[in-house]
A and B are shown apart, each in its own frame.
Chain A
Amino acid sequence: MRQHIPSLVLLLCLLLFWEIMVRIMDVSALIVPALSAVLLVLWDGLITGFLWHHIWVTSVETLLGFILGCSIGFFCGVMLGEMVQLRRLLWPYVLATQVVPKLALGPIFIIWFGFGMTSTVVITALICFFPLVENTMTGLQTATPEKRDLFRMLGAGRWKTLVRLKIPAGLPTIMAGVRVAIVLALVGAVVGEFIGGSEGLGASIIAAQGMMDSTLMFALFIVITMLGILFYQITLLFERWLLRSWKKGKIL
């Protein structure tokens, strides 16, 4: 906890600076609302339950998309990592799914899956897919040639080598991909809602924009940021738990 204190102090200073500057310079609430006003709207939204519904929707979309994208990404990463021929054949297409602007796909997803949650989940999954493919493929190459020879000497077949050696050896790399994915997932969900959502935090930002309600938008920014940090921290804790044996002995 102690090492977080400077960070928190800096945050308080920045927030204070924001409030003071807005008041001194008499900035219009449409451009930058005062912190106090934003917090009031935020508090109000939480008390009345108006925000909770949107938080719930966005969270569900984020997590569904995240789990879907990570699972498919992991599976594809293993397949491509294990089969050189398949990798040569499919890699350009995997890369294409990543470089195509996912937002540009939004409208077609809306045609395919309709407005609402499904389209957003698909966009989110597509965003999470790539870091997992990439990191799984890289992770599977982590095990040294000597360790592979060891497994060959011990009579382990391809499947056992994959499950007992390559995946465990690559797990730290794979988990780094998961950490990237969870952050991208929230971005994906919010942006997905911009295009096709009627509910959720992203949709609420669009709605607030329609009402020229900058104060609400700032409140939503804060909510999304807090949600992102929360998801990231949960993933980090999960990773620490999963890799607890891997970390043993790093510091004696």
Chain B
Amino acid sequence: MVQQIGWLPMMTDTTFFNFDEASYAYENGNTILSAIDWLIPEGAFHCLVGRSGCGKTTLLKLAAGLMHPTQGQVRVKGQLVKGPSQKVGFVFQTPELLEWLPVIDNVLLPISLHRSVQAEDRDNALELLESVGIVDLAKRYPRQLSGGQQSRAALARALLRWPPALLMDEPFAALDAITREELQDDLLRLVSLRKTTVLFITHDITEAVYLGDQVVVMEQGRISRVVKIDLKAPRGINFRYESSFSAHCQSIREAMSKKMSEEV
């Protein structure tokens, strides 16, 4: 049931993110990422798990164009990534809402930065807030919201212009278990609406298995294991208690800990 596939980089038309021997090292020689090869097809939901400091966030920033590989390259839809692109939305570890703006204006930020906000933009934003369940908080200010509500607002902001791809850096890590599960379901529902490509970073194995159709394990700047999660979608609450779910989690955990013990 658990299928582990070998690594065969192959460019196709439907590839969204393409890491081609992408490496990142600091000037002092500290290597963060070494020769990452990774293809993420359009519409796929890939999760990246790894322990703290393995280079997950750096990888995500390379995909975002916030950082540039010191060797190799990163391509988005065949185009070399030279800087941040409007095709890609980013969700940070913390909600990063502007505390001086009400929620609705925070969600509208991707538009208001570039042009004046129209009535239909406002309707779109309200619709998104509705779908993440905080439409009645639209006029509140971020500090008046709970952590979960803030994360929902941040998700709505990232989705406002429906970028074809979302990069998410442990966005739910600080939330309690129930809130996190709710947000995971909301996220899956929203990205399936428009077949959004997602690269999702987490250190939570169960979260990775629940969300991803592929889970990539990273270890000290390298991809050490790729696990395909060929389980049914949509995944509901019961899915979390199925034996196949646990089997996947266990296999990923083994992949992570085995590597560690080999190095000791």
Give the B-binding residues of A (Cβ under 8 A).
144, 146-147, 149-156, 160, 164-165, 168-169, 171, 245-246, 248-250, 252
Contacts and interface: CB of A to CB of B under 8 A. Distances in A.
Interface string B79-99: 000011010111011101011
Nearest to A164: B113
A250 B101 CA distance: 14
A155 B92 contact: no
Contact of B86 (A151, A155, A160): A155
A151 to B, nearest CB: 8
B100 to A, nearest CB: 5
Given A248-B141, A250-B143, A165 B96 contact: no
A144 B96 contact: yes
Contacts of B100: 168-169, 171, 245-246
A249 B141 contact: yes
9 contacts: A146-B94, A149-B66, A149-B90, A160-B113, A168-B98, A169-B100, A248-B141, A249-B145, A250-B143
Contacts of B90: 149-150, 153
Given A155-B113, A248-B144, 19 more contacts: A144-B96, A149-B66, A150-B96, A152-B83, A153-B64, A153-B88, A154-B84, A154-B110, A160-B113, A165-B98, A168-B100, A169-B100, A245-B141, A246-B99, A249-B99, A249-B140, A249-B142, A252-B143, A252-B144
A136 to B, nearest CB: 17
A151 B98 CA distance: 11
A154 B109 CA distance: 8
Contacts of A168: 98, 100
B114 interface: yes
Secondary structure class of chain B's binding surface, majority of residues: loop
B98 A147 contact: yes
A103 B144 CA distance: 48
A154 B163 CA distance: 11
Interface in B102-127: 102, 109-110, 113-114
Contact of B101 (A152, A245, A252): A245
A252 B149 CA distance: 15
Contacts of B86: 155
Contacts of B64: 149, 153
Contacts of A160: 113
A63 B144 CA distance: 37
Given A154-B109, A154-B113, A155-B113, A149 B144 contact: no
Interface in B125-142: 140-142
A248 B88 contact: no
Given A149-B92, A246-B100, A156 B113 contact: yes
A245 B86 CA distance: 29
A155 B109 CA distance: 11
A98 to B, nearest CB: 30
Nearest to B105: A245
Contact of A150 (B88, B92, B99, B144): B92
Nearest to B88: A153
Contacts of A152: 66, 83-84
Closest 3 CB pairs of A and B: A249-B143, A248-B141, A249-B144
Nearest to A161: B113
Q: Which interface residue of B88, B96, B144 has the most chain A CB atoms within 10 A? A: B96
Q: Which interface residue of A152, A154, A164, A249 has the most chain B CB atoms within 10 A? A: A154
B58 to A, nearest CB: 13
Given A152-B66, A152-B84, A147 B96 contact: yes
Given A245-B141, A248-B144, A249-B142, A155 B114 contact: yes
A7 B66 CA distance: 55
